[in-house]
Amino acid sequence: MSTVGILAAREYMSRLRSRGFIIGTILGIGGIVALSFISAIGSWLAGTFTTSIALVGPDPSLTRAIARDLRDDYAVTVIPVSSDGPHLPTAVKRDVTGGKYDAALVAYRDNRGALAFSYYPAKSASLEEQERLRQRLLSAVVNADFDQRDRSAIRRVMNFPFVTVNLNPRYKTAAEAGLAQGLVYFLLLLLYIAVVMYGMNVASGVVEEKSNRVMELMIGAVRPDQLLAGKITGIGALALTQMFTFGCAAGVMLLLVGLHYATSLQSAMPAGVMHPPSLAIATVPLSTIGYLIVFFLLGFFSYSTMFAGVGALASKTEDVQQSNGLLIWPVVVAYMLSIFALQDPDKPLFVWASLVPLISPMLMFTRVATSSVPMWQIAVSIGLSLICIWGFTLLAAKLYRVGVLMYGKPLSPKEIWRALRAPA
Amino acid sequence: MLELNHVSKRFGSVQAVSDLSLVARPGAVFGLLGPNGAGKTTSIRMILDILQPDQGEVRWAGHRVDAVTRRTFGYLPEERGLYPKDKITEQLLFFGRLHGMKTADARARMQELFEAFGLTDKLNSKPVELSKGNQQKVQFIAAILHRPPLLVLDEPFSGFDPINVEVVKDAVRDLVAAGTAVLLSSHRMEQVEELCEDICIIDRSRAVVNGSLKEIKRSWPDRFVHMTQLPDMSFLEAFPGATVRPSANGIAAVRLTPQTDPAAILRAAVTAGPVEHFEIVEPSLTDIYLHYVKPEDAAA
- Dump pLDDT digits (tens) for A45-80: 665 677 889 999 888 888 888 888 888 888 899 988
Say which of A212, A220, A422 has its CB closest to residue B81.
Answer: A212
Q: What is the CATH number of the domain that holds B170?
A: 3.40.50.300
Please give the pLDDT value at position A397. Answer: 82
Q: Are residues B272 and B126 in the same domain?
A: no
ipTM of the complex: 0.78
Q: Do B172 and B157 form a contact (C-beta atoms < 8 A)? A: no
Please tell me what DSSP assigns to residue A69.
Answer: H
At A187 the three-state DSSP class reads: helix
Residue B173 reports pLDDT greater than 90: yes
CATH numbers and ranges of domains, chain A? 3-38+174-421 (no CATH), 53-158 (3.40.190)
Whether residue B73 is found in the same domain as residue B140: yes
pLDDT digits (tens, 9 = 90+) for A326-378: 788 888 899 999 989 888 888 899 999 999 999 998 899 989 888 888 999 99
Note whether A180 and A370 are within 8 A (CB).
Answer: yes
Phi first, then psi: give them for residue A409, nearest 5 degrees. -70, 150
- Contact A307/A199 with Cβ under 8 angstroms? yes
CA distances (Å), origin B40, targets A144, A177, B8: 100, 67, 12
- Residue A223 contacts by C-beta under 8 Å, 6 or more apart in sequence? B67
3 state SS of A283: coil
Question: Which of A13, A17, A206, A216 has the most B C-beta neighbours within 10 Å, making it the best mutation to test the interface with B?
Answer: A216
Mean pLDDT of A84-105: 89
Distances (CA, A) of B230 to B92, B167, B254, B269, B275: 55, 38, 12, 8, 8
Average pLDDT over chain B reads: 89
How far apart CA A36 and CA A402 sit, in angstroms, is 49
- Judge whether B160 and B134 are in contact, CB under 8 Å: no
pLDDT greater than 50 at residue A404: yes
Residue A84 — very low, low, confident or very high, per pLDDT cuts 50/70/90?
confident
Is residue B127 a part of any domain in this protein? yes
Alpha helices in A49-126 (DSSP H): 60-70, 90-97
Q: Is B129 inside a domain boundary? A: yes
How far the first Cα of chain A sits from its last, in Å, is: 27
Is B293 part of any domain?
no
Percentage of chain A lying above the pLDDT 70 cut? 84
User: Both B110 and B256 in a single domain?
Assistant: no
- Band (B31; pLDDT cuts 50, 70, 90): very high
- Shared domain check, B226 and B211: no
pLDDT at A152: 84
CB A170 within 8 A of CB A178: no
The closest of B279, B156, B160 to B223, measured between CA atoms, is: B279
Residues 6+ apart with CB under 8 A from B160: B133, B136, B167, B168
Out of B192, B216, B240, a domain closes at B216
Domain count, chain B: 2
Rounded-to-integer distance, Cα B233 and Cα B254, Å: 10
Chain A CB contacts of B139 below 8 Å: 217
CA nearest to B10, candidates B44, B39, B30: B39
Same domain, B180 and B167: yes
Q: Please state whether A284 falls in left (phi above 0), alpha (psi between -120 and 50) or beta.
A: beta
User: How large is the average pLDDT for residues A27-44?
Assistant: 78
How much of chain B, in percent, has pLDDT values that exceed 70? Answer: 98
Å between A212 CA and nearest CA of chain B: 5
Q: Nearest CA of chain A to the CA of B101: how many Å?
A: 11
Q: For residue A358, what are the contacts with CB-CB under 8 A and spacing of at least 6?
A: A302, A303, A330, A331, A334, A388
Q: Is residue B298 part of a domain?
A: no
Contact A312, A208 (CB under 8 A): no
The answer to whether position B270 is within a domain reads yes
Interchain CB distance below 8 Å, A222 and B98: yes
DSSP A380-403: HHHHHHHHHHHHHHHHHHHHHHHH
Does B86 contact chain A (CB < 8 Å)? yes
Please indicate, yes or no, if residue B168 is contained in any of the structural domains: yes
**pLDDT score at B167:** 87
Residue of A271, A291, A283, A302 whose CA lies nearest to A390? A302
In chain A, residues with a C-beta closer than 8 Å to the C-beta of B145 are: none
Q: Is the pLDDT of residue A1 over 90?
A: no
Based on the fold, state whether residues B132 and B269 are members of the same structural domain. no
Same domain, B174 and B192: yes
What angle in degrees, to the nearest 10, is found between the helix axes of B132-144 and B88-98? 30
> pLDDT grade, residue B297 (50/70/90)?
low
Domain of B97?
2-216
Q: What angle do CA B163, B165, B171 make, to 5 degrees?
A: 110
Residues in chain A with CB shorter than 8 Å from the CB of B54 are: 423
Is the predicted pLDDT of residue B12 greater than 50, yes or no?
yes
The whole-number average pLDDT for the span A233-241 is 91
Q: Note whether residue B295 is domain-resident.
A: no
Give CA–CA dist A300/A302, Å, rounded.
6
Render A287-336 in DSSP notation, one character per residue: HHHHHHHHHHHHHHHHHHHHHHHHHHH-SSHHHHHHHHHHHHHHHHHHHH
Task: Tell me, yes or no, whether B31 and B104 share the same domain.
Answer: yes
How far apart are alpha carbons A363 and A369 in whole angstroms? Answer: 10
- What is the CATH number for B265? 3.30.70
> Best of B98, B102, B140 to disrupt the A interface by mutation (most A CBs within 10 Å)?
B98
What pLDDT score was predicted for residue B25?
93
Query: For chain B, how long is the longest CA-to-CA vector?
Result: 71
Let me know if residue B266 belongs to a domain: yes
Report the C-alpha gap between B292 and B286 in whole angstroms: 10
pLDDT at residue number A411? 66
Are residues B140 and B204 both part of a single domain? yes
